[in-house]
């Protein structure tokens, strides 16, 4: 999929970009010719470059000879068409991980979310079309919040999906596909780092509602989903991982263990869903199982080129469908080194 190719990761200094980069670099003789990290945060790029070069103490001149390295860093903004044109010029594969992701931020600054999450993807499509770039595949990274969206973040991500899917009609020489998944375990702003801090401080552990459930997705599985989509997806398809779910109260109880720490119910926050939904009732009638993934086929007839042999999913795919027990939840957290006795390393974003 990647051998001798140039891969551009927009928003590549985030937690997903770091693990994605690490996986690409580990491919040895089949690794890409070039991996380009495109983002607007020079500090995050600096720390990621230092980590890649395996240096402990450096000065700013480590940026020299940047363009000769396998892992290249580019300062730029997905919102700026000229920046996008510049970074995509020699790309073969583009993974769009650039986004405003925090629900409250997007609620308070909705137009900022529109510029990053909608104008950004449109700039990618426009650049490929107008500049006639010979890009093979573009992957749009989406979220469960794009499914039946009730907040600005989800609304803008839902539009991103449609921009990329429709692009297959107007830019047929490039394959545009999407991946959609829920909250990643221990990612920045998620409950597990919060619970760790609350438990270490003696509590209470705050939960918005006892009924809340969430998919528990390891970051490696998020990367697996991107790779699976690049390998198997047809133009316009959206790949969704089939992953376990748990009650948030069980996550808290598993982390608290035998400690004398109370759980406090605080009430639903603005824009928050009780359950994560990755496939809606409406989408379920054109969603099919493919290996460990659900695949939503485009509703556009121009993109439905192959008939599926199996029956469609036919029902909503929600985190409330198949919930793990407390014992199973604890085992999963242990497996991914997320219990209190394991330190979660955060450098702006989690490195897992």
Rounded to whole angstroms, how far apart are CA atoms 234 and 214? Answer: 29
Q: Which residues pair with 280 in a beta bridge?
A: none
| Cα angle 226-153-337, degrees, rounded to a multiple of 5 | 50
Strands 287-290 and 293-296: antiparallel
Which among 186, 337, 192, 194 has a CA at the least distance from the CA of 250? 192
As annotated, the active-site residues are 145
| Helix extents (H) in 311-350 | 326-335
């Amino acid at each position: 999929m990647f051998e001798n190719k140039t891969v551009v990761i927009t928003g590549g200094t985030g937690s997903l970009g770091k693990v994605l980069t690490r996986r690409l670099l580990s491919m040895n003789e089949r690794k890409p010719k070039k991996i380009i990290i495109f983002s607007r945060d020079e500090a995050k790029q600096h720390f990621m470059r230092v980590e890649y070069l395996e240096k402990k103490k450096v000065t700013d001149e480590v940026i020299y000879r940047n363009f000769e390295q396998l892992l290249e860093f580019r300062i730029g903004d997905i919102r700026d068409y000229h920046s996008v044109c510049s970074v995509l010029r020699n790309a073969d594969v583009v993974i769009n991980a650039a986004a405003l992701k925090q629900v409250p931020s997007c609620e308070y600054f909705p137009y900022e979310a529109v510029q990053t999450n909608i104008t950004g993807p449109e700039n990618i499509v426009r650049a490929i079309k107008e500049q006639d770039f010979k890009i093979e595949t573009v992957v749009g990274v989406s979220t469960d919040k794009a499914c039946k969206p009730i907040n600005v973040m989800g609304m803008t991500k839902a539009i991103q999906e449609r921009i990329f899917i429709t692009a297959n009609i107007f830019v047929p020489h490039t394959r545009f596909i999407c991946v959609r998944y829920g909250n990643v375990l221990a990612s920045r702003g998620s409950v597990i780092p919060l619970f760790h801090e609350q438990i270490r401080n003696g509590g209470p552990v705050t939960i918005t509602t006892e009924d809340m459930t969430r998919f528990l997705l390891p970051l490696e599985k998020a990367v697996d989903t991107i790779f699976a989509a690049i390998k198997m997806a047809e133009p316009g398809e959206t790949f969704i991982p089939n992953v376990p779910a748990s009650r948030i109260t069980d996550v808290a109880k598993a982390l608290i263990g035998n400690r004398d720490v109370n759980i406090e119910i605080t009430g639903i926050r603005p824009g928050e869903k009780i359950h994560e939904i990755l496939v809606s009732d409406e989408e379920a009638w054109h969603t099919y199982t493919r290996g460990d993934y659900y695949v939503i086929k485009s509703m556009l007839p121009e993109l439905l080129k192959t008939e599926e042999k199996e029956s469609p999913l036919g029902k909503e795919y929600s985190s409330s469908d198949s919930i793990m027990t407390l014992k199973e939840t604890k085992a999963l957290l242990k497996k991914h080194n997320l219990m209190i006795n394991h330190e979660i390393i955060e450098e702006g974003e989690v490195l897992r």
